[in-house]
Amino acid sequence: MDALGVSILLGFSVLLGLNQALVKIVNAGLAPVFQSGLRSICAFFPVLIFAWIARRKLSISDGSLPWGLLNGLLFSLEFCLLFLALDYTTVARVSLFFYIMPIWVAIGAHFLIPEEPLNRNKVLGLGVAVAGIALALSGDLGPADDQAWIGDLLALAGGIAWAGIALLTRTTPLASCSSEMNLLYQLFVSAIILTLIAPLFGETVREPTWFIAAVFAFQVVFVVAIGFVVWFWILSIYPVSNMTSFGLLTPIFGVFFGWLIFDDPLTLTFLASVALAGTGIVLINRREPT
């Protein structure tokens, strides 16, 4: 990958690592599923306005509609699981289990994208990353309440849903959509679904404050409206398995912000798990000798 792609993806990894902490902060004022749906509603309009101003292609008659709706369902599932996970466990643990998504993408790309087969380096990298996750699942990740395992599994499932979005974007007519149109599909569907099902999970509003409102606004503008538009743009340019492997860096930033903001415990086992996951990114992106 060139310097532009690397720098953008590194910045996006930092932003996503921080985002897990922000979601947990907002969970204190807005229930997880309701927060996720409200975020989609609020982000939909800035993305739409930007697309109009920038004259991006916005069309539902180009064959992308059914795939866009499916991506929206996966997007709804992804963030429902992710936001709920942060109610059960720590930011650091969620960051580790959610952002192993590149493992599922690389495996899926091997079968769905002919030009992106698994090679020796990718297999080795995936093996190292899986070893890190196995260590995390079997080892001592630090003090946690009795329901932390629920959050771990929710985060793991959310990452699989995210991988599905990445693969659909590359292997269906969505590949010819603008990044803004792809995101609008997801925001539109998730805004409806998540706000409708939010009451099923209990109270929707907890103890909101002006600080929580400001954090929520930052998420809407910088994480969703800007961050994900850039991510889908990058996804349309670079190899999907190499690009998403940068997601393995996000747990490192997530662990850092979890420790910095919430004082999440960092055991040697946990740090070793993150180190193995980080090593995977080097191996996955390393070129095969010619």
Tens digit of each residue's pLDDT (9 = 90 or more) over 232-243: 677 667 766 566
Q: Residue 89: is its pLDDT beyond 90?
A: no
What is the pLDDT, as a whole number, of residue 94? 87
Q: Quick one: average pLDDT of 53-69?
A: 91
Q: Quick one: average pLDDT of 92-108?
A: 83
Choose between 8 and 44: higher pLDDT.
44
* pLDDT tier, 93 (very low <50, low <70, confident <90, very high otherwise): confident
Q: Residue 290: is its pLDDT beyond 60?
A: no
What is the pLDDT, as a whole number, of residue 106? 81
Which tokens is 277 given? 């996951």
What is the pLDDT, as a whole number, of residue 80? 96
The 10s digit of each residue's pLDDT in 148-164 is 889 989 999 999 999 99
The 10s digit of each residue's pLDDT in 218-259 is 999 888 888 877 776 776 677 665 665 666 677 778 888 888
Choose between 159 and 143: higher pLDDT.
159
Which tokens is 264 given? 């999440």
Q: Quick one: average pLDDT of 83-103?
A: 85
What is the pLDDT, as a whole number, of residue 256? 85
State the average pLDDT for the chain.
85
- Are 215 and 24 contacting, i.e. CB atoms less than 8 angstroms apart? no
Q: Quick one: average pLDDT of 191-200?
A: 96
pTM: 0.83
3-state secondary structure 227-259: HHHHHHHHHCCCCHHHHHHHHHHHHHHHHHHHH
Which of 93, 150, 110 has the alpha carbon at shortest distance from 239? Answer: 110
Q: Is the CA virtual torsion 39, 40, 42, 43 positive or negative?
A: positive
Please calculate the CA angle 38-39-45 and round it to the nearest 5 degrees. 100
Each as own residue / partner, the long-range contacts of residues 204-210 (CB below 8 Å, 24 or more positions apart, any chain) are 204/30, 204/31, 204/34, 205/29, 205/30, 205/31, 205/34, 206/27, 206/28, 206/29, 206/30, 206/31, 207/28, 207/29, 208/29, 208/30, 209/29
Which tokens is 176 given? 């010819």
Q: Residue 174: is its pLDDT beyond 60?
A: yes
What is the pLDDT, as a whole number, of residue 144? 64
Q: Residue 134: is its pLDDT beyond 90?
A: no
Q: Residue 146: is its pLDDT beyond 80?
A: no
Q: Quick one: average pLDDT of 45-63?
A: 88
Phi, psi for 30 (deg, rounded to 5): -130, 135
Where along the chain do its domains lie?
A: 3-105+146-264
